[in-house]
Structure 1
Amino acid sequence: MSIRENIHRRRLHVQWRVMDALIAAKNRTPVNFSQGVSDRFGYALIAPGFLLISFLAVGMGLLAWYSFLTYDPVEIFVYEYTLENWQRFIETAAHHRILFRTLLYSAVVTVVCVSLSVPYAYLIIRTENGLFRNLLLFGLFVPFFTGVIIRAYGWLIILGENGIVNWLLGEIGVSSIGFIGTPFAVLVGLIQYMLPFGVLMLTPAIASIDEDLERAAKNCGANQRETFRHVVLPLARPGLSASIIVVFTLSVANYSIPKLLGSGQLSFVANFIYNKLFTTLNYPFAAVLSLILVGIASLVVMAIFKLYGTGTLGSEVDGA
C-alpha cells in the first residue's frame, strides 16, 4: 500500500468518526430533525427552571449549614457546630410573637385580597362596557409602575400625623389620629400592595369559564348570587389557589411596608432577619429565621395543593 493510499484511508476513517459523533450528538438533542419536535423538546424548555431550582436548593443548603454554626461577635461565625441558634428561637417568646404577627397579618391580608380580587377579576372579564373595563385595568396596572417603597411613602403622606386623613378630620372638628405604627396602617398598606397580584392570578381562571354555563344556571332558576357561588367559584378554583399562594408568600416575606408603616413597632420576620444580618452580624441566627419562614410558607403551599388540588398545574387527565 502506497503512502498516498494510506493517508487517504486514514482521512476517510477520521471523516467517518466525525460523522458518527455528529449523528450521536443529533440523537441526544431535544429536537428530532427527521420527525419534527420530539417529546424531549419539553425537557429543554424546562431546563432553565431546573437550573433556577438548583440554585435555590444550594442556597437553602447553605442556610441550613449556617444555622448550625457558632456565632462570634468578632469573627461573625466560627466553624463549630451547635444547636444553640435553634434553641434560642424555641425558648424566646419575643421571636414567637414576631412570627405569629407575621403569619396573622399575612393571613388577614390574604383573605381580604382574595375576597376583593374575585369580584374585581369577574368584572374585568364579564363587563361589556369598554370604558369601565379600561378603568378597572388602569387601576390594576398603575400600582405596578411604582415600587413598594414609594407606595409605602404614599401611605405615610395619607395616614401620617399631618397627612390627608388627619387634615380632613381636623376640618370636621375631629382630633388627629395616629395611624402610623398601628396594625391598621400595616394592613392597609399590604392589602393595597397585594391586591393587584391576587387579581392577576384570578383573571385567567375566570376568563376560561364558559359564559354559557352561567346562562344555563340562570335558566334553571339560579339567581346571580347562586350562579356566582355554585358555578363561577368552583370553576375558578385553580385561580383561587394561585391567588392565595402568591399573596400569602409575598406578604410573609414583605419588609418595606411593616418597616415604614409599622414605624419599627410591628416588625415582620423579614425585618428581624435584616436587623440580625446588618446590625449584629449574627448570620447563624438569621439563617434559622430564614429557614423557618421558608418552611412555613412551603407548608402552606402544600396544604393548599392538598385541599384544593393543583388545578391547571396538575398533570392528571379527567377520566384517566
Structure 2
Amino acid sequence: MTSLEEGEVYQHLGMPTGVRVRQTPGDTIAEILWDAGQIDSSLLTPWQKINALNTFLIPRISFLLRGSAVAKVPLNTADSTIRQLVKKWLYLPQWASTDIIYISHRQGGANVPWMGDLCNVAVMIHAFRLLTCPDPMVRSIVEEAVQDVVRKRIARTPSEQDVATYLSSSLEAEFGREGGDLSSLWSRARNASRRLGKRISCRWKWCEEHREPGILVPCIKTPDHTIVTPTARTMLERTLKDAIRCHYAKNLKWKPDQGKVFEVSSKWDASNHFLPGGSFTRFADWRFVHQARLNCVPLNGAVRHGNRDKRCRKCDYANETLSHVLCGCKQHSGAWRHCHNAIQN
C-alpha cells in the first residue's frame, strides 16, 4: 500500500479516494460520456441505443454515486448530454417535454433516470443500509455517529424519533437552528431526503413498536403508503425509483398540450410494447410516433410562438393540427376510406 499525504488520492474502483479530497470522478464521468457518443455514432437502431445506455452506462454512473460524494455540476453536465442524445434517438425537438425520458417503458418513456434523482436515491440507500446493517458492531458505530451529528444540530441528546426527524429534513423547532451541522453522509442523506421529499413526499420514520427505522414512500397510483422496513431493505431502491417514475408520468399527464395522449396510452402495456425492443415497428413509425404523442409534429397549428399562419396547407382549414391532418383533412378522404375498409376486412 502506498503512503499518502493529506489531499493525495488513489483510484479505488474508479473513484478518487483519500483524506479530505474531492471525490468527484471527473475522468470516469468523461469516459462514460465518450462511450455515450460512441453509441450515438454506431449503427444501432434508436431503441437499441437507448437499451445500451440503460444496460451499460447508467449502472456505471449508479456505481460511482454509491461509492463517493459526487458534485452536482459534473452530474448536471452529464445529464444534459444524455438528455440531448435520448431526444435525438426519439426524434424529438429539444423543446419537447423531458418527462418522457424519465418515465418507464410501460408508461411510454425511455426509462432513462435523471442523474440528480440517481444521486439522491444512492445517498438514501447507503444511509438506510448502514442504519439497518445486520452486523451489530457496524450498526452500533453507525448509530453513534448519526446521533452525534443530530446532537450537534439540536444541542441535546437525541432520541430515535429525533434521528428520523433530522433525516427527514425537518426545519421545525430546534431542527431549524442555524449552525452545528457538519458535512457528512448524514447531512447529505438529509439533503437528499429534502430533494426527494419535494417530488415524491418520502420521509424517514421510527417504528416504536418494532424499535426499527423505516422510510415511508407514498404511492402515486394509489392512496396507500409503502413503508420500507429493515427486513425489506433490498426493495428500497426499486420502491424509490418506481415512485419517481410515477411522479414524472403524472407531471406529463398534467400538461395540457403534450400530455393528452399519455393520459390514455400509459394505461395499457400494449400501447407501448415497441419501446424496449422495437418489435413490429418500422423506422418511419419510430420517427413519427414520439413526435405525434407529444404534439411536436412540425405542423402550422403546433407552432407556439409568433404569428405564423395556422391554416392547413392542403385544404385551407383554420387550424392545421395533427388530429385534422389524420382525421379531418378532406384531401385524404380516400385514405380514410381505405383504412376503414381494411379494419373491417
The TM-score range, normalised by the shorter chain, is: under 0.3
Larger % of helix: which?
Answer: 1
**TM-score, normalisation: structure 2:** 0.24
Larger relative contact order (Cα-Cα within 8 Å, sequence gap ≥ 6): 1
Under a length normalisation based on structure 1, what TM-score does the superposition of the two structures give? 0.25
